[in-house]
Amino acid sequence: MSLEVPRDTPPPARPDDPNGSDSQASTEKKMPGSRRRNRRGSFSKNKKMNSSNDVGAAEAGHSRPKNSKKAHSGTAHSGTSHSGAPNTRTSSSATKSSNSGPPNSGPPNSGTPNSGLSDSRPANSKASYSDIGKGIYSAIDLGTNNCRLLIARPTAKGFRVIDAFSRIVRLGEGVSHNNMLSEAAMDRTIEALKVCAEKIKRRNVTCMRHVATEACRVADNSAAFVARVRRETGINLDVISAGEEARLAVMGCQSLISPGNKNALVFDIGGGSTELIWVRMVSGRNTEIRGWVSIPWGVVNLSEKYGKADHVLPPEVYQEMVETVQVHLRAFEEAHAISEVVNKKRTQFLGTSGTVTTLASLHLNLPRYVRDKVDGAWMKSRDIKKLSRKVAGMSHMERCAQPCIGEERSDLVVAGCAILEAILGMWNVPSLRVADRGIREGILRGLMQMETPPVRSDKPRRPRRHTKNSAVKKNEGLKDNA
């Protein structure tokens, strides 16, 4: 199954507060790209059109053994469909919810990283036309560093965000040392998830999927943590595999792959791992994941390995961080010969992570982070390298003074710069496009793809023309009946 998206549509505005404020979407108003329902149940199109894309949903289920520092990868040859998902079926993790009761994202998960996405409706059931726009969907992405929530309502060609939440919780803090989630980290995360649960209940969410990634994949006590989350918040976390994480990242941001490109390398720098996905454009708007890799280094565990950067990092230590990451990238290069394709041009690099968006905001000299200016922006590789070295050479206080970095990210951004420089240094690509979107958007689009019925045509039916011959035939028919 291929993932179909419109060509390079502008992103929908969303009220995503990285500091964890209780933000309420101003997008509750009518936005471009939405359609109004008339009294007869058909749709009338607004004059202005500006919506996000619809993409398909497929199933995935790759996993990496716990306590492993080996990169895990997948290729189309080893069981990958057009959407980049393995062909093997996995358990359902998307669940409808009634408006009353605790939020529930599926059956309890034991913490095993082998769960995919399937339709929660019966295979032969279909939604009626009156259902469009009435469902409310939520997606949680619980990573090693952040807890993020997105709540949206579907529109005719995408979705409209009605609420969002984001908070740095550092769930994976210390996991690289003892393979255990600490009590303090779990407490911080559960407090953030309680905020999410309150928003989900207040917004009357009807269909949801809530996932956890690398920290919960590798921690020995992740099953106990998932059970505690369910008990204290009512949220059931689906601990997804690295392959499913890669697939959702592509689904969430692939509309930013510009028309005319034949290939793209999409990467997501996380807190405990970094996913790279090699994508080929097929039949116009469709994409095919030809291979992916999940390397076991993110901004949290790489910072812990080389000491938290609360001082000026020596250049030789920074270079060692870059080389640590590049060891894993070489195997991916050898498997897919990406350099040969990049040298032939028409290949785009697309980065989705806090590191990439932070560097973009610094590059644009923004006084504060503005998503509409960052999402979809382009940066030249030489400017990224120069800016990364500049940030790495700053003291802790200098990084804290940068409004788009702040105190919460100041000790992690250097590791992110090293990972980004390792990626751009491995492949000679002139520029990079920035994406402030990813797993949550991929989840929402997958859920809405399953629920959305065919849309009626906006064109009015032409009146039937009555000709002389038709009138004669009608009279002859009346005579025969008589």
CA atoms within 13 A on the CB side of 384: 28
Q: For residue 461, what pLDDT is reported? A: 54
pLDDT digits 0-9 by tens, 170-209: 999 999 889 999 999 999 999 999 999 999 999 999 999 9
Please state which architecture CATH assigns to domain 257-434: 2-Layer Sandwich (3.30)
Q: Are 88 and 58 in contact (CB under 8 A)?
A: no
Sign of CA dihedral 13, 289, 416, 226: positive
Any idea where the domains of the chain sit in the sequence? 3-45+52-72+88-243+440-451, 257-434
Taking the C-alpha atoms of residue 17 and residue 164, their distance in angstroms, rounded to an integer, is: 7
Taking residue 65's Cβ as centre, other Cβ atoms within 10 Å add up to: 10
Q: For residue 158, what pLDDT is reported? A: 86
CA atoms within 13 A on the CB side of 412: 26
3-state class (DSSP) for residue 380 = strand
Residue by residue, DSSP assigns 299-331 as HHHHHHHT---SSPPPHHHHHHHHHHHHHHHHH
Supply 303's token pair: 């910072």
Please state which architecture CATH assigns to domain 3-45+52-72+88-243+440-451: 2-Layer Sandwich (3.30)
Nearest to 414 by CA among 396, 392, 429, 447: 392
Taking the C-alpha atoms of residue 73 and residue 71, their distance in angstroms, rounded to an integer, is: 7
pLDDT in tens, the chain (482 residues): 333 333 333 333 333 443 444 443 433 333 344 444 443 333 333 333 333 333 333 333 333 444 445 666 665 433 333 333 333 233 334 555 543 343 443 333 333 333 332 233 333 334 333 344 479 999 999 999 999 999 999 988 789 999 999 999 999 999 988 999 999 999 999 999 999 999 999 999 999 999 999 999 999 999 999 999 999 999 999 999 999 999 999 999 988 998 888 999 999 999 999 999 999 988 766 788 999 999 999 999 999 998 765 678 889 999 999 999 999 999 999 999 999 999 888 899 999 989 999 999 999 999 999 999 999 999 999 999 999 999 999 998 999 999 999 888 888 999 999 999 999 999 988 999 999 999 999 999 999 987 644 444 445 555 556 555 555 555 555 445 44
> Which contacts (CB < 8 Å, 24+ apart) does range 376-379 have?
376/10, 376/11, 376/256, 376/433, 376/434, 376/435, 377/433, 377/434, 378/431, 378/432, 378/433, 378/434, 379/431, 379/432, 379/433, 379/434
Burial of 235 (0-12, 13-18, 19+ CB in 10 A): buried
Q: For residue 151, what pLDDT is reported? A: 97
pTM of the model: 0.69
Q: Are 336 and 312 in contact (CB under 8 A)?
A: no
Q: For residue 468, what pLDDT is reported? A: 54
Q: For residue 30, what pLDDT is reported? A: 37
Q: For residue 334, what pLDDT is reported? A: 92
Let me know the angle formed at the C-alpha of 162 by 47 and 159, rounded to the nearest 5 degrees.
50
Q: Are 438 and 249 in contact (CB under 8 A)?
A: yes
